[in-house]
Amino acid sequence: MKDQLLTQFNEVFKTNNKARTFFAPGRVNLIGEHTDYNGGHVFPCALTVGTYAVASVREDRSIRMYSMNFPTIGVIEFSIDDALVLEKSHDWANYPKGVMHEFSERGLKWEHGFDVLYYGNIPNGAGLSSSASIELVTAVMIQGLFDTSLSMIELVKMSQHAENNFIGVSCGIMDQFAIGMGKEEQAVLLNCQTLDYQYSPIKLNDASLVISNTNKRRTLADSKYNERRSECERALANLQTELEIESLGDLTPEAFEEHKHLIKNETDQKRAKHAVYENDRTLRAVDRLHAGDLESFGTLMAESHISLRDDYQVSGKELDTLVEAAWGQEGVIGSRMTGAGFGGCTVSIVANDKIEEFIDRVGKSYQNETKLTADFYVVNVGDGARELLNNQ
Ligand code: NG1
Ligand code: MG
């Protein structure tokens, strides 16, 4: 892979410069959905698929960017001395630009420009964080090329700011954190309020993680996403009239039941209920996984899906069809929607000797019910964002 990308780099930019290769994974969240911006816990892991960036510093002050995923857009060229502007027609390049902006804010004096070629092998807009992946690969690339010495946590926060402020999606920190801090064979339990975290080995025994893509792009997601955030903020404000809490993540389910009458609007109450119970579920699920009790982990995944479907209302026909078909299959330990919802992907834990049958049967029922075709990926859990050194 690395050699092919280096050849492409030299062809696209017509240079023989020695380029360096960087990589940032995509991520999948195993449980803890819509809890990150509510100050709760999440439990994602980094994947072995992701975004590559092949780059080298230039003598002059030009920046040239090219994505193999958007060849018709071609090379995007500008000068370091130009203001960084969001351009609708160069959609993908806005992510690296947002990250460059963050480095400038932290005092990086760009003395030279650079050439960079990107290649991503995660499906776009499917809830596997292709956006956070391109942000983090850009962050580790700039750090590598210009010798800044920011910590990975700093790069994670800068990437989230880029998405919040430059792109305009008010996402929580889960994606960037999982992608920056991921570790092979481990998921990470993250407290999104304190940023305390703990790695937890994913022991699936004779089973694997299977991601099923509805192939329904989440066009509605962004507006509904922000709507859910405001509903939770309103519920929190209601609770704060009597309780000293900073976020919904501070409440146990028992405390929630005792005080839920403070939340005036019924819809807001349902949203808050999901956030509180999902946080609790996440902690219990990680505990079960530690104890080697995969079956209970799977049951909690199902409860998570039901809560997202009924209380948080971010599922939809496509996701429900895939998840319900999975629940009915032999060898399925757990299955739920993952990511923001309204489309995108589900994540399932499936016994290795049943995967073929799973893909065949779930794929067929999905096609029958929705007239859409699903894609399936058996994924591996890999390391976080980094430079790929020799022989990698
Ligand atoms: P996805 O579906 O990967 O875009 C979104 C948010 C996360 C988190 C989840 C829901 C973005 C970029 N990320 O993930 O921070 O809130 O939804 O758990 O919007
Ligand atoms: Mg995204």
Q: Pick the ligand that lies closest to the CA of residue 179.
A: 1
The reported pLDDT for the residue numbered 220 is 53
Pairing of strands 41-42, 207-213: unpaired
Pairing of strands 62-67, 114-120: parallel
| pLDDT(300) > 90 | yes
Q: Give the separation between CA 285 and CA 299, rounded to whole angstroms.
A: 9
> Whose Cα sits closest to atom 3 in ligand 1?
127
Q: Pick the ligand that lies closest to the CA of residue 347.
A: 1
Looking from the CA of residue 169, the nearest atom of ligand 1 is 19
The reported pLDDT for the residue numbered 353 is 98
Looking from the CA of residue 173, the nearest atom of ligand 1 is 15
163 is in an annotated binding site: yes
> Whose Cα sits closest to atom 17 in ligand 1?
340
Looking from the CA of residue 170, the nearest atom of ligand 1 is 19
* 112 CA to centre of ligand 1 in angstroms: 34
List, for residues 344-371, the tens digit of each pLDDT value: 999 999 999 999 999 999 999 999 999 9
Looking from the CA of residue 341, the nearest atom of ligand 1 is 2
Written out in words, the top-level CATH class of the domain with range 2-200+382-388 is: alpha beta
Least confident of 40-44, 119-123, 330-334, 346-350: 119-123
pLDDT mean over 17-33:
96
Which residues make beta-bridge pairs with 348?
A: 210, 335
Among left, alpha and beta (phi > 0; psi -120 to 50; other), residue 28 is beta
DSSP H helical segments within the chain, as ranges? Answer: 2-13, 94-105, 130-146, 152-161, 174-181, 221-240, 253-259, 266-290, 294-310, 317-327, 355-370
175 is catalytic: yes
User: Which residue is catalytic, options 115, 175, 250, 268?
Assistant: 175
* 170 CA to centre of ligand 1 in angstroms: 9
pLDDT mean over 17-29:
95
| pLDDT(277) > 80 | yes
pLDDT mean over 299-325:
98
Query: What CATH architecture is 202-379?
Result: 2-Layer Sandwich (3.30)
The reported pLDDT for the residue numbered 392 is 62
Q: How far is CA 27 from the centre of its chain?
A: 5
* 345 CA to centre of ligand 1 in angstroms: 12
The reported pLDDT for the residue numbered 75 is 97
Which protein residues touch ligand 1 with a CB less than 6 Å away?
Answer: 33-34, 36-37, 127, 129, 131, 163, 169, 171-172, 174-175, 225, 339-340, 344
Query: In testing the pocket of ligand 1, which one of 34, 225, 338 has its CB within 8 Å of the most ligand atoms?
Result: 225
Which string of b and e fits 15-46 if b means at least 16 CB within 10 Å?
A: eeeebbbbbbbbbbbbbbbbbbbbbbbbbbbb
Domain boundaries, the chain: 2-200+382-388, 202-379
List, for residues 212-269, the tens digit of each pLDDT value: 999 988 765 567 888 999 999 999 999 999 999 999 999 999 999 999 999 999 999 9
223 is in an annotated binding site: no
List, for residues 71-99, the tens digit of each pLDDT value: 999 999 999 999 888 887 778 999 999 99
